[in-house]
Chains A and B, each alone.
Chain A
Amino acid sequence: MMKEFELFVGPNHPGVTGNMSYHLWVEGATIKKVETRVGYLHRGFEKLMEKRIWMQNVPLVCRICVPEPDVNEAAYSMAVEDLMGWEIPERAKYIRTIILELARLGAHLLTVGGIAASFGLYTIAQWGVGDRDYILDIFEQITGARVYHIYIWPGGVRWDLPKNAKELITKVLDYLEKRMPLYEDLLIRNKVFIRRAVGVGIVPKDKAIEWGVTGPNLRAAGYQLDFRKLEPYAAYDSVDFEVPYYPKLGEYEVLSDGSDIYTRTAIRLLEMKQSISIIRQALKEMPEGDVILKHPQWFAWKVPAGYSYVRVESSKGEYGYFVVSDGGKKPVRVHVRGPSYTHGINVLERIAPGMNIADFSPTAISLDVCPPDIER
Chain B
Amino acid sequence: MRNDDWKKVSRLVSKKSLWMVHFCTGCGAMEMPPVMTSRYDMERFGIAPMATPRQADVLLITGYLSIKTLKRVVQVYEQMRDPKYVIGFGSCTINGGMYWDSYNTIKDLSKYIPVDLYIAGCMPRPEAIMDAFLKLMEMIEKGEAIGWKKYHKYYDQYKRNQRMAFSYRLDEVQDIKEDDAK
Contacts and interface: CB of A to CB of B under 8 A. Distances in A.
Interface of A: 11-14, 17-19, 39-44, 47-48, 51, 59-60, 63, 66-67, 110, 113, 125-127, 129-130, 132-133, 136, 146-148, 372
Interface string B68-81: 11001000100000
30 contacts: A11-B24, A11-B69, A12-B72, A13-B22, A14-B22, A18-B24, A18-B29, A19-B25, A19-B26, A39-B68, A40-B72, A43-B66, A43-B99, A43-B102, A44-B99, A48-B99, A59-B98, A63-B98, A66-B29, A113-B33, A126-B37, A126-B38, A129-B34, A130-B34, A130-B37, A130-B38, A130-B39, A132-B34, A136-B34, A147-B31
A207 B1 CA distance: 71
Contacts of A130: 34, 37-39
B64 interface: yes
B6 interface: no
Contact of A129 (B21, B37, B125): B37
A12 B55 CA distance: 13
A370 to B, nearest CB: 11
B101 A41 contact: no
Contacts of A13: 22, 51
A148 B122 contact: yes
A11 B72 contact: yes
Given A13-B22, A41-B69, A42-B104, 11 more contacts: A12-B22, A14-B49, A18-B24, A43-B105, A44-B104, A48-B101, A59-B98, A66-B27, A130-B39, A146-B31, A148-B123
B36 interface: yes
B53 interface: yes
A238 B24 CA distance: 40
A67 B72 contact: no
